[in-house]
Copies of this chain bind each other. A is one copy, B any other.
Amino acid sequence: MATLIASENFSPIEDAEVLRKSVKGWGTDEKAIISILGHRNAAQRKQIRLAYEQSYQEDLLKRLESELSGDFEKAVYRWILDPADRDAVLAHVAIKKSGCNYNVIIEIATILSPEELFAVRKAYQVRYKHSLEEDLAAHTTGDIRKLLVALVTAYRYDGGEINAKLAKSEADILHDAIKDKAFNHDEIIRILSTRSKTQLMATFNRYRDDHKISISKTLLEEGADDLQKALHVVIRCLNDHKKYFEKVLRNGIRRVGTDEDALTRVIVTRAERDLKDIKEVYYKKNSVPLEHAVAKDTSGDYKDFLLTLLGKE
């Protein structure tokens, strides 16, 4: 379930007017921006951008970028974008960052539905005049590249069929490769990047039943290299992305200085999808409501905006 409380009766033209007033002249009315954009879903935000462009012959996004700053600006910018376009931006930022942020790429490649992932690849090309895999492959090397490119280029079958025999044989293949620490084994990449998610769940369950430990725990050890860490993230994202995001939020908040990028990313990308579920997982694990934790670690307009997306009335 989503946390976003989108207004049911809304007029894109009126919203555009209020936003125009809030950015015009001296000073910016951040409260108005939050109260409007923090209560509009993706389709509504799209209409507002369009109405704003038509009424004032300027791009709302660009205007907000120039009026706002810091973490608040980043969060508003990411929030306004269409989900596929936003993920294209997140992927691009991750790729261009020195030492590519694998986790963001893995999240996009494994958590989105096959159709959503393809929409991101399309959006990426419109924006950057390159394919996503082209830029990714040019900025990574070796085994990590093999894994990440295979994941982002996947178009998995999305059906619910399970082949139990295959789950057993591929659980064994994964187990043997992991036991031998052959994390770059072609078969690991083949299985994780081509099988349907339902089939992979069956494979991971079989792994746990046959080997008395979850595949995710097997991969989690001191001294793991980048590839092993990446595989661990892949399996966590495929297996239970809500638990995975809870951990991202927890780490982001706990860190000295808060990891705003991670905080913004999870809240902005999940507010319209399943942030309510992630909040529940968070509460179970931390005995503190996520809103309280976020409120404690952030401030100002950025804090208000995140709390609005988290469902504060």
Q: Known: A134-B194, A134-B195. Is A186-B150 also a contact (CB below 8 A)?
A: no
Residue of B with least CB distance to A156: B131
* B161 adjacent to A131 (CB under 8 Å): no
Q: Is chain A's binding surface mostly helix, strand, loop or mixed?
A: helix
Cβ of A150: which chain B residues have Cβ within 8 Å of it?
A: 149, 153
Q: Known: A137-B194, A145-B186, A186-B145. Is A131-B154 also a contact (CB below 8 A)?
A: yes
Q: Known: A118-B118, A153-B150. Is A129-B195 also a contact (CB below 8 A)?
A: no
In the bound assembly, the distance between CA atoms of A133 and B154 in angstroms comes to 8
* A154 adjacent to B153 (CB under 8 Å): yes
* A155 adjacent to B194 (CB under 8 Å): no
Q: Indicate the member of A133, A138, A156, A157 with the most B CB atoms within 10 Å.
A: A157
Q: Known: A149-B150, A150-B149, A155-B153. Is A194-B133 also a contact (CB below 8 A)?
A: yes
Question: What interface size band does chain A fall in?
Answer: 20 to 34
* B186 adjacent to A155 (CB under 8 Å): no
In the bound assembly, the distance between CA atoms of A155 and B121 in angstroms comes to 8
* A194 adjacent to B154 (CB under 8 Å): no
Interface members, chain A 23-81 (any B CB < 8 Å) = none
In the bound assembly, the distance between CA atoms of A6 and B79 in angstroms comes to 50
* B130 adjacent to A157 (CB under 8 Å): yes
Cβ of A299: which chain B residues have Cβ within 8 Å of it?
A: none
Q: A99: CB under 8 A from chain B?
A: no
Interface members, chain A 140-155 (any B CB < 8 Å) = 141-142, 145-146, 149-150, 153-155
Question: A191: shortest Cβ distance to chain B, in Å?
Answer: 9
Q: Which of B154, B155, B186, B194 interacts with A118 by CB under 8 Å?
A: B155
Q: Known: A150-B149, A154-B153. Is A159-B129 also a contact (CB below 8 A)?
A: yes
Q: A285: CB under 8 A from chain B?
A: no
Q: Knowing that A125-B159, A133-B154 are A-B contacts, what are 14 other residue pairs whose CB atoms are under 8 Å apart, sorted by A's residue number?
A: A125-B157, A130-B157, A131-B154, A131-B155, A132-B155, A133-B194, A134-B156, A134-B196, A138-B194, A145-B186, A145-B190, A146-B186, A149-B150, A153-B153
